[in-house]
Chains A and B, each alone.
Chain A
Amino acid sequence: MIVRPTTAQLLRDVRHELTTVVEPEVSSATAQVALEQIDIILEQCAVRAGSEIAWMVEEIDEIEAYAADVVAATADAATNAALDAGRSGRSGSLALDDLVLDYNLMSEALSCAIEACMSDHAQRDLRDRGVEILRVRRAERETVVRANWRLVGRG
């Protein structure tokens, strides 16, 4: 299997071709807007292709540990059930379609764990730990994936 150039490199090359070869030939305003949108999406795909599998695996492990701590501290039934489902349903595969399902299952455990802490004021520190996963593992990485995102062609 030829893995180099990587998917990200190929996508960025397509971006370059579109920008330097196709775009100058396009005169329609709506088509120009579409090309600019496609350029942004291709860059986002390039970023995702380089990291999303590693990020999901890392987050699944972190959520599992966090949810287990929440169950230990609160005995919350919903979190316990979601954590069980995340563990038993985990394929362990790195194939993207399988991993997305694993990630979804464990994400439900994170939702339940934070909700359990929200309704129990004594668990403020645990709640903050869950929110930190949202901030550092999700929001900050999504910011990286957004790349050169902007609302092209608006107004």
Chain B
Amino acid sequence: MHETELMPARLAAFLQLHRDDVESIEVTEYEEMAGGYSRSMARARVRYTSDNVTLEETVVLRGDPPAGHSMIETDRDHEWAVLNALTEMGVIPIPPARYYDGSGEHLGTKAIVMDHVAGGSLQSLIEDIVDYGDHPTRLARQWGQIHTITPEQLPDAMPRPDSWEARIDELIATWRRYEGASVNSNPTWRYIAAWLEANKPPPLPLRLTHGDPQAPNIMVDHDGNYQVVDWEFAAIGDPREDLGWYNIYSTAAGPNLYESDPETFLAAYRDATGFGEVEVNQLTVGYFTVLSSIKILGTICNQLDKFALGENSGAMTALQIGSISFGHDNFINAIAGMQAAFDAMAAAAEGATS
């Protein structure tokens, strides 16, 4: 994928391996896409010819970046397994995944070929408007729809936590593990881990989580339908992990459709999932806004460590120092706000008792 001048021929040959019903396949256009942060993305125009009949379509390629230039390390095999399962399930709207070069021998890097969504991302749609219309509740319902998928419906290869408690403990331990392994001692992460451990929320059933839910990962087709993309962080976890990550990411790169009216957003989400207000409220979303961030900030931290050790490079990776520090600022303030709320509730309960 990184030798763009070779890609039309390589991609045509790869597609031909899967389409022996077609006489000839030609890739007439191939261009890198700028929007892919963690993976290399490209768009290709493909012409199929059989019996003098010609059809054309656009496909998208999603592959690993060049070695030593990765902002985030994730597993394409895992992503392909999840995409396959979701394509087969047909419950979540996603661009169907078609083919996978699992070794990189055909496309130059491990890469997935999938349908192209004619349209744009939800991000590009909402960032220039003031009235978001029904997008906040639609988005809440979209995340909720994902969270109706139970672990039993997912590929066996996906890791299954032993329990909700085990999942939460694992995430808290992840804060400490990345901090302990980093070239930077980070008291903010250690404080976050200690606070999260002392203030666990009520549990919810484990479900499919997208892992990186954000408006750029929702494509909106020409009919206005949502299609959810970028499943590399998909896992089995607490559904509120996604609400939390959506909240922090959208605060960093808005607009934040949760923040604009949290209660309406959460009501739509609860309606889609059947979860209750005790488990899904602004305080529990606040908790998971902090907790779940480690899944992506941890791997960013890891790549920045490699940068410091001379094993990684690139402006994209360097830029992520800002992501880490943005998290620090927001998490310290979020914890202060939640702690104040807990203190007030404790004081009120004490007053009622006395």
A positions within 8 Å CB-CB of B: 29-30, 32-34, 37-38, 40-41, 44, 104-105, 107-108, 110-111, 114-115, 118-119, 130-131, 133-135, 138-140, 142-143, 145-146, 149-155
Contact = CB atoms under 8 A, between A and B. Distances in A.
Interface of B (DSSP majority class): helix
A107 B328 CA distance: 15
Contacts of A151: 37, 252-253, 319, 323
B194 to A, nearest CB: 4
22 contacts: A37-B318, A40-B322, A41-B318, A104-B183, A107-B184, A111-B185, A114-B187, A114-B194, A115-B190, A115-B191, A118-B191, A119-B194, A131-B336, A138-B328, A139-B328, A142-B325, A142-B328, A142-B329, A146-B325, A149-B326, A151-B253, A153-B37
A147 B180 CA distance: 28
B187 A152 contact: no
A37 B315 CA distance: 6
User: Which label, helix, strand, loop or mixed, suits the secondary structure of the A interface?
Assistant: helix
B315 A34 contact: yes
A108 B182 CA distance: 12
Contacts of A110: 187
Interface size class of B (residues with CB under 8 A): 35 or more
A30 B2 CA distance: 13
Nearest to A131: B191
Contacts of A140: 329
Given A131-B332, A134-B332, A139-B332, A114 B325 contact: no
Contacts of A111: 179, 185-187, 190-191
Contacts, number: 108
Interface of B: 32, 34-35, 37, 121, 123-124, 179, 183-188, 190-191, 194-195, 198, 214-217, 252-253, 315-316, 318-319, 321-323, 325-326, 328-329, 332-333, 336
